[in-house]
Amino acid sequence: MNLTIRELKENEIEDLIRLRNNVYPRFRSHFKDMEKSVEWFKKFLEKDHIRIFGAYTEEENNLAGTMTLFDFDINFRGKIIKTGGIGGVGVDFEYKKRHICRDLIDFSLKYFMDKGIMSSVLHPFRTDFYKKMGYGLLSPYYRYKLKNSRMPKSKDAHKVRLLSEEDADRIERCFDNHFKTTHGEIGRKPGWGEKNLKNEDNAIFGYEKSGELEGYIICNIINAHPDNFLLHDLSSDELIYTTPESLRALLGLLRNQSDQFEHTIIHTQDDAFFYLFDNPVDDSHEIFPHANHQYVRGSTGLMFRVLDSKQFINNYNNNPDEVEDGLICSFFIEDPFIEANNDEIVLNIGKGNFCLSDKKPEMSVKVSVADFSSMLFGAVNLERLVTLGLAECNDSSRLKEISDRLAVSTPPAYHMKF
């Protein structure tokens, strides 16, 4: 159908709220009061890194769909680059199955490229839908539910304290230190710390050393049993630490809560997190063949997409002198969504670094843009893609070498909600 996609105007916020309440019924309770909701969105739109777009029918000028676009900083292999976030994508009831969502995504990718942003991230409502548009999966989330008594002991647990609004600057500095050293992390704008510390649903604990916060955990208290108001669990989806001792101290604090809380539920992307516990097994009593105990649940995480492969890599590293003892490899990238990116690129790949090259390739790889994006970000290595039949390589004798060179030491980790 014929659509006009443009930025939302202030006098159209009420239409946006009605559409969002239809698309995301969970938010209806948040936006029941129209006057307060309009004021909230007005403040939201004042942020210079956020834009809300609407898809309007050309005939009636009705709001048929919407999305929110973000301008983020992201840590990509130790370098801070720009990426475009996409959130709040939705189509109203009567306009479903008319390719409006696809048109919105198409618009957003062109919008980012026009701004010089050559990658994009999103939380998928359906991974298969976004894979068709070139997005690849990044690190999964792991959900641990552990008795607090199983947390490791720490002699420094008594140094952890409950944070208050006065700690806003310290918690933001702590996250910034984590952001600068964590591959995959997305940067935050000033003010997020105060907002979280003011939230009465949050209990935020921090470990401090020499006046600086070296780690913190954001917890929520949840009821552990519908028929027993005395049983509670702690739940956390943000555990940030910059030193091993800060991690142990925070976990030690959780251990000390075993008299009040049954379990702590921790969401993390650290695939080695279970090594911290003598017994990471959950309460499900599930046994996998043949005698293996269930300890974690998993879910999909962010999806990432390279928009213009050559320009993205050039933005990451345009200095061939930084790549030593490189291996020259061509990648035939299949991109069904962005025609100009359906192309061959040649990379000079060193040990942990790469750049574009004009030399003759020593080997070649054929891969979809979705899997290329996941591989480039270090969520999956090239050798696994080939083994799984998701990529083709013309020289199996060099496959492990190039795969190792492109790999990262830790998978991407991120905490941004959008």
In tens, the pLDDT along 258-269 reads 999 999 999 999
Position 28 pLDDT exceeds 70: no
Grouping H, G, I as helix, E, B as strand and the rest as coil, residue 368 is strand
Same domain, 269 and 331: no
In total, the chain counts a number of residues equal to: 418
What is the pLDDT, as a whole number, of residue 2? Answer: 85
How many domains does one find in the chain? Answer: 3
215 has which bridge partners?
Answer: 207, 241
Same domain, 294 and 307: no
Position 32 pLDDT exceeds 80: no
Q: What are phi and psi of 294, to 5 degrees?
A: -70, 135
Position 25 pLDDT exceeds 90: no
392 belongs to a structural domain: yes
Place of tokens 């930084």: 322
72 belongs to a structural domain: yes
| CATH number, domain with residue 93 | 3.40.630.30
Same domain, 57 and 113: yes
Q: Pairing between strand 303-306 and 119-122?
A: antiparallel
Instruction: Tell me what the pLDDT averaged over the chain comes to.
Output: 93
- Which DSSP string corresponds to 84-152? EEEEEEEE-GGGTTSSHHHHHHHHHHHHHHHTT--EEEE--S-HHHHHTTT-EE-PPEEEEEEEGGGSP
Same domain, 167 and 279: yes
Same domain, 286 and 309: no
Same domain, 171 and 104: no
CA distances (Å), origin 319, targets 187, 322, 328, 357? 25, 6, 15, 10
Same domain, 291 and 194: yes
Q: What are phi and psi of 56, to 5 degrees?
A: -110, 135
* pTM for this predicted structure: 0.91
Same domain, 318 and 279: no
Same domain, 13 and 29: yes
Range of the domain at 181: 141-299
Give the span between the Cα atoms of 366 and 166, in whole angstroms. Answer: 53
What is the pLDDT, as a whole number, of residue 412? Answer: 94
Same domain, 291 and 335: no
Position 59 pLDDT exceeds 80: yes
Place of tokens 């991230």: 121
What is the pLDDT, as a whole number, of residue 91? Answer: 94
